[in-house]
Amino acid sequence: MPRWCEPRSFFLRLPGWPTSKSPNSWTCRSGSSRSGASVSITNDWRVWRTNPGAADRALFPPQSIVEIKALACELPRTLGLPFSRLSSADIAREAVVRGIVVSISITTVWRWLDGDAIKPWTHHSWLLPRDPLFAEKAARVLDLYYRLFDEIPLGPDDYVISADEKTSIQARHRKAITTGPMPHHPRRVEFEYERMGALAYVAAWDVHRAKLFGICERTTGIETHHKLVDLVMRQEPYRSAHRGEPSVERMSQWYPNAIQIHTPIHASWLNQIEIFFSILQRKVLTPNDFPDLQTLETAILEFQAFYEKIAKPFKWKYTKDDLKKTLERIAERAATANPLRLVA
């Protein structure tokens, strides 16, 4: 059975094998225990295999490891470095420059960071809630998903509609024909394209009935919003349902039995129609290969009709208690240089 150790490799002879040495074999240094007994190479190899950081701890004191991990958690600009993100090589070099260690390998730095899931070469974009009534507005939306309005259960003729717009959907006409996948080859899409214009897709989602409504327009605004509201409210059962801001007042004038409720600013993750937009993006708009706007609009609306046939209400599990915990974590970290990313 072959065995390997660091820094040299060797071939372990099993009982009954001839003792002749292969001209290509290497040898591994022998060792001894503190008692003077010979140390088993096999045992040494097992220790290294099951605990590869043991040698690191022997060579580097815990304080150095902690300082290097702390270095990885700093922003490059606070370290006076002229780039935007740190790599393992950058961290290893800075650790030597700052006198944390005399020398260290990039692999060792990567292994320490990987052990604590520290990845300074990646980043996530996020938005800090700045609406003073964020919690109140968000809680109202979450109540509606659980069929509550002002602490009163919704009736069978009450419907919750989630609506928003997906803007600037481009039609990109590729300069060469897109080819389908083949064995050992993915689908191939020409990199260069012509811009054939852009559309806005405005859509609404019945949260509890999994019904979709949507239109494509060149621009967004009050008129486009009114068209979407008409599309929903002129159909049953919404037309016969029993039951601020200027847009809320407009809604009540258009349809007295409809109540418009806004999500807080920077809280699109609370809006369930955004889940459908992400599905549309993955299934239809990526890769983007449409010769003109009419083809793009047809593709969007055909997918809308197809998806509605198979759709089920989304299993929404985020509650007001979860919201409270999220906002508490943000409040804790808001004053630090590395705030927590808001995740729904």
pLDDT in tens, 142-153: 999 999 999 999
Domain count, the chain: 3
Q: Which residues pair with 170 in a beta bridge?
A: 198
Query: If we measure between CA atoms, which residue out of 243, 240, 232, 234 comes closest to residue 207?
Result: 232
Inform me whether the pLDDT recorded for 31 exceeds 70. no
Q: Is 311 exposed, middle or buried (0-12, 13-18, 19+ CB in 10 A)?
A: middle
Long-range contacts, 255-261 (Cβ 8 Å, 24+): 255/229, 258/229, 258/233, 261/140, 261/141, 261/144
Query: Do residue 118 and residue 138 come from a single domain?
Result: no
Same domain, 151 and 300: yes
Q: Same domain for 25 and 101?
A: no
* Average pLDDT estimate for 22-51: 42
* Backbone dihedral region for residue 183 (phi beyond 0: left; psi -120 to 50: alpha; all else: beta): beta
Does any domain span residue 186? no
Q: Which residues, listed in sequence order, are joined to residue 182 by a DSSP beta bridge?
A: 185
Higher model confidence: residue 300 or residue 253? 300
Same domain, 197 and 101: no
Backbone dihedral angles phi then psi of residue 185, each to the nearest 5 degrees: -140, 125
pLDDT at 141: 95
Task: Write the pLDDT tens digit of every residue in 105-159.
Answer: 999 999 999 999 999 999 988 777 888 899 999 999 999 999 999 999 999 999 9
Structure-token pair, residue 127: 């938005």
Mean pLDDT of 87-98: 96
Query: Domain range for residue 30?
Result: 1-36
pTM across the whole model: 0.70
Same domain (yes/no): 32, 57? no
Residue 172 lies in a domain: yes
Domain assignment of residue 309, yes or no:
yes
Domain assignment of residue 43, yes or no: no
Please check whether residues 174 and 302 belong to one and the same domain: yes
Question: Is 313 a member of any domain?
Answer: yes
- Give mean pLDDT, residues 10-29: 43
Residues 98, 215: one domain?
Answer: no
Q: What is the pLDDT of residue 22?
A: 42
Residues 17 and 112 in one domain: no
Pseudo-torsion of CA 124, 266, 278, 292, nearest 10°? -110
Let me know if residue 11 belongs to a domain.
yes
Rounded distance between C-alpha atoms, residue 325 and residue 148, angstroms: 21
Average pLDDT over residues 312-341: 81
pLDDT at 119: 95
In the predicted model, what is the mean pLDDT of the chain? 83
Instruction: Please list the alpha-helical segments (H only) found in 32-132.
Output: 41-50, 54-59, 62-72, 88-97, 106-115
Same domain flag for 108 and 198: no
pLDDT at position 44 is: 44
Q: What share of the chain is helix, strand, coil (3-state, %, to 5)?
A: 40, 15, 45
4 falls within a domain = yes
pLDDT band of residue 33 (cuts 50, 70, 90) is: very low
The mean per-residue pLDDT over the stretch 9-27 comes to 43
Residue 22 shares a structural domain with residue 91: no
> CA geometry: angle at 66 spanning 65 and 67, to 5°?
90
Residue 5 domain-assigned?
A: yes
pLDDT value of residue 36: 40
Tell me: do 314 and 247 sit in the same domain. Answer: yes
Q: Please measure the distance between the N-terminal and C-terminal CA atoms of the chain and give it in whole angstroms.
A: 51
